[in-house]
């Protein structure tokens, strides 16, 4: 199960809407071992594409180093699908290489509503999980 605050989910959705029709992507960092997302980090999609995303390699280095310095890990890795459902594609699965992360997908295919789903992806296997949203400020 992914437990996440409403405030963080709202920020993810706002990012996905702002970048639509390009895919948006980012990380929610949290204290190592806590499984609690707490720090929102929107990332550049270096592909700038409606059908593909890739973290900019230098930004990824900076963010991963910063998380390491702060004793954090990437609890959530999120990205958006702009014309298809919020389910991991074959490439999403191929490039899911953070074993502990929750892979959160947002679909902005519909203009008035978002589909938000979360998954664990390990060794090429996708397992959907519930998203429990809390009303805390952050």
Partner 1 sequence: MAIEVRIPTILRPLTGGSKTVEGKGDTLDALLADLDARHSGLRGRLIDDSGGLRRFVNVYLNDEDVRFLGGLTAPVKDGDTVTVLPAVAGGYI
Residues that bind partner 1 (CB under 8 A): 23, 25, 43, 47, 49-55, 57-58, 60-61, 64, 77, 79, 81-84, 88-100
Least Å distance between CB 54 and partner 1?
Answer: 4
8 A C-beta contact, residue 88 and residue 121: yes
Residue closer to partner 1 (CB basis): 98 or 129: 98
Residue closer to partner 1 (CB basis): 69 or 135: 69
8 A C-beta contact, residue 110 and residue 85: no
Residue closer to partner 1 (CB basis): 31 or 132: 31
Nearest to 126 by CA among 80, 87, 79: 87
First to last CA, the chain: 18
CB atoms within 10 A of CB 101: 22
Least Å distance between CB 120 and partner 1?
Answer: 14
Using DSSP, state whether 15 is helix, strand or coil: helix
Least Å distance between CB 134 and partner 1?
Answer: 26
Least Å distance between CB 93 and partner 1?
Answer: 8
């Amino acid at each position: 199960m992914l437990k996440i605050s409403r405030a963080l989910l709202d920020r993810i959705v706002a990012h996905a809407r702002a970048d639509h029709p390009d895919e948006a992507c980012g990380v929610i960092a949290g204290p190592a071992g806590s499984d609690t997302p707490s720090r929102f980090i929107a990332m550049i999609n270096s592909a700038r594409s409606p059908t593909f995303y890739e973290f900019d390699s230098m930004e990824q280095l900076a963010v991963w180093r910063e998380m390491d310095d702060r004793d954090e890990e990437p609890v959530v890795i999120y990205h958006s699908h702009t014309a298809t459902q919020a389910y991991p594609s074959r490439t999403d699965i191929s490039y899911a290489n953070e074993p502990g992360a929750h892979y959160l997908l947002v679909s902005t295919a519909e203009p008035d509503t978002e589909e938000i789903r979360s998954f664990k992806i390990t060794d090429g296997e996708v397992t959907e999980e519930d998203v429990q949203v809390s009303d805390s400020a952050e």
